[in-house]
Structure 1
Amino acid sequence: MFVGLESNKHMTDTLSVQQRSRVMAAIKNKGSIIEQRVAAILKEYGVRYRKHSDKLPGKPDFYITRLSTVLFVDSCYWHGCLVHGSQPKSNRKFWKVKLERNRARDKEMNNEYRRLGWRVIRIWEHELTSPISKRVIRAIAALSR
């Protein structure tokens, strides 16, 4: 079950700046829980996919070559979701620039794939509990048959 970030808005950080930096640096960018959820849904609907190609721009989370489709699973925190994302209280300038850069890079990747003739699907972390995500994946499954 997804727990929104709103519930954590007023929590005080008990870690030092250095400890928090180490914790944040250790967060995986591949094989995250949200990617595992999407992989499970793809498998549930019989969609054959590959993950994290070094040969494709931006290393999409999932790609379906047969359909020329890439699927990115965007974390609300790291991709700056305007609904659920939040900026850390410390080093605000750094995080503001970082999250803006992440969003700009996401748009660039969307444009790059479209120029290459690929479909781009982005699923936000908070959408994983939504029936819409499953409908999108069901549509992919129908196309891939």
Structure 2
Amino acid sequence: MDHLTKEQRHKAMSRIRSKDTTIEIKLRKALWHSGYRYRKNYAALPGKPDIVLTKYKIAIFCDSEFFHGKDWYTVLLPRIRNGENPEYWEKKITRNMERDNEINRKLNYLGWTVIRFWGKDIAKNT
């Protein structure tokens, strides 16, 4: 793993957005051009989905691979354990994955279809 100073790490982390990310914008543009109308960051639903197709009751999340634990056991967890501050990152990402599952269950219970896309999948094949 890279070895950044505390200041460099802070600067990099502070630039991570929670909404209007590159992958969200790319997916929204594709949906819009295909004729789908949507709501962004819809606070009326649990988890505040990135994109909501209210007409179809579909909640879409655009998840980054790192923060949402893609390939957790095979790739990410070994990488975290060999990096800096492994206890913090393991706890943080594990909780993110738990929260994602809780939100999925709540939305399903309310009759919504939940779709979660990985960022790289959006970037490669919108």
| Matching residue within 44, 62, 68 for 1:55 | 44
8 A Cα contact 2:51 2:61, kept in partner:
yes
SS at match of 2:67: coil
Q: 1:29/1:61 Cα in 2 relative to 1: closer, same or farther (>3 Å)?
A: same
8 A Cα contact 2:60 2:114, kept in partner:
yes
- Cα separation, 2, equivalents of 1:45 and 1:22: 37
Correspondence list, 1:60-75, <5 A? 60-75=49-64
Give the TM-score normalised by structure 2.
0.85
Alpha-carbon distance, 1:22 to partner: 3.6
Structure 1 vs Structure 2 CA RMSD = 1.9
Give a deviation string over 1:1-39, Cα, whole Å, max 9, x none.
xxxxxxxxx5x33x3124303421331110111111111
- Cα separation, 2, equivalents of 1:84 and 1:39: 29
Alignment of 1:40 onto 2:40: no
* Alignment partner, residue 109 of structure 1: 103
SS at match of 1:100: helix
| Matching residue within 119, 122, 127 for 2:121 | 127
8 A Cα contact 1:76 1:84, kept in partner:
no
Equivalent residue letter for 2:60:
L
Q: Percent identity?
A: 35
What is the number of equivalent residue pairs in this alignment? 120
Residue segments in structure 2 that go unaligned for 5+ positions in a row: none
8 A Cα contact 1:51 1:60, kept in partner:
yes
Equivalent residue letter for 1:66:
K
- Cα separation, 2, equivalents of 1:25 and 1:101: 20
Give a deviation string over 1:67-98, Cα, whole Å, max 9, x none.
11100111111111117755381111100010
Structure 1 segments (4+ residues) deviating >6 Å: none
Residue segments in structure 1 that go unaligned for 5+ positions in a row: 1-9, 135-145
8 A Cα contact 1:74 1:124, kept in partner:
yes
Alpha-carbon distance, 1:56 to partner: 1.4
